[in-house]
Amino acid sequence: MQQSIRTMNHSESGEVAPDRRTQARIEVRIPVKVTLPGQEGSITGVNEDISWGGALLRIPGPLPKVAGNIRLVYPWKQGDNITIEGRMLRATPLDDGRHYEVAVRFVSLSPRSQSRLVKLLKLLRNGRQSTEGSDTIDLVRELEVEVNDADNLRGMLKQIARGRHSLTVFDAYEPNQSISLSIVGTKNLPGIRLRARVIQVEKSHAKGFEWAELYTLLLGFEHPIKALRASVKMLLEQLPAERESSLTSEAAPDWLKATPFAHPTVADRARFSLQSNALSTLEADYPEALNHLIVGWGDVEMFESLFRDLTLGDQGLPGGWPPDAWAELEMLQDVHDLSYGKSSDRKALLKGGRIT
């Protein structure tokens, strides 16, 4: 694909490469209605390939000299559409002198259009031949956050309603990468799945977690703000009344309030195997256990309660933990004891899943 930039009106200075390099790019030629910046009427273009993050189009010229978002309308079944706000990354004139090849990054979709886009991508992925190499790439990288406390979930949703969300994870993400953020509520709590874009990535450090590679992400959302707030409002109404708890505090750092672990995709696991052999057993095989424990890191009573859940409660493994995983759990408990102390009513360490 030609990478030339025609004019600054049709590209963005400093823009990184499109998401198609890390997301499945699916070849499909279908008509698409395109509304260009500064124009009221639409023109008909041809979609040449499409992914979670964007599309490659062939559209007739001339192109407008004003910058701004473009609007794409893809056909859906029974007369419905998939409507997408996009941003033009590159526009390359074709040899016929009348058409342009235009790379578009998707920047905003309604929840309904997003749901239809995902269905379309899955249908195309399963029923048509992808471009070379796409068969080994996931549709999108997913970040899954498990939340088991209503107040924590409420705080996350309120932050999301403002259009940004900050959280700490164990895996590095590329700035400007579009991902799927899935907030999964346990214990009858609701959940939500959103399009998010990584705005900023910073290396993080936390007491007691010197052994881990932590990264704090700042996410923006690729949904209209009104639709985003409406979704958040609906979920907030499903939560139980806000309570006061000694186990949570507004003064707690963001990484302690909700430190999720991104469940690795197939592509992530392949990348890890190439880059490093230093993943612990918990990181590689039981990331949900780390996610469960870290929510209470720094709070003695909460941590011990969560640790008991993993060893004696519903969060434990049937038949007990494998020796290497159990050794790492004990190590985490020892680190927490040394850093923050033990509760007064704890008489002995948990060993082998039993109180001794």
| Per-residue pLDDT at 10 | 34
3-state secondary structure of 183: strand
What number of other Cβ atoms are within 10 A of residue 73's Cβ? 16
The whole-number pLDDT of residue 284 equals: 76
Write the CB contacts of 302 (distance below 8 Å, at least 6 apart in sequence). Answer: 247, 295, 296
Q: Give the span between the Cα atoms of 4 and 2, in whole angstroms.
A: 6
25 token code pair = 């790019």
Task: Set out the domains of the chain in order of their start, with CATH numbers.
Answer: 8-136 (2.40.10.220), 141-276 (2.40.10), 280-356 (no CATH)
CB 161 within 8 A of CB 229: yes
Task: Report the Cα 144 to chain-centroid distance in Å.
Answer: 7
- The answer to whether 262 and 142 have CB atoms below 8 angstroms apart is yes
Residues 6+ apart with CB under 8 A from 254: 166, 167, 168, 216
Q: What is the mean pLDDT of each run of 10 residues along the chain (356 residues)?
A: 26 38 83 91 94 95 84 91 94 89 95 92 73 60 87 90 90 91 85 94 79 88 94 90 51 43 48 54 78 75 81 68 83 77 61 36
CA dihedral angle for residue 94, residue 99, residue 105, residue 106, rounded to 10 degrees: -160
Q: Is the dihedral of CA 323, 328, 329, 331 positive or negative?
A: positive
Say what the pLDDT of residue 288 is: 77
DSSP state of 28: E
Q: Is 260 exposed, middle or buried (0-12, 13-18, 19+ CB in 10 A)?
A: buried
pTM listed for this prediction:
0.63
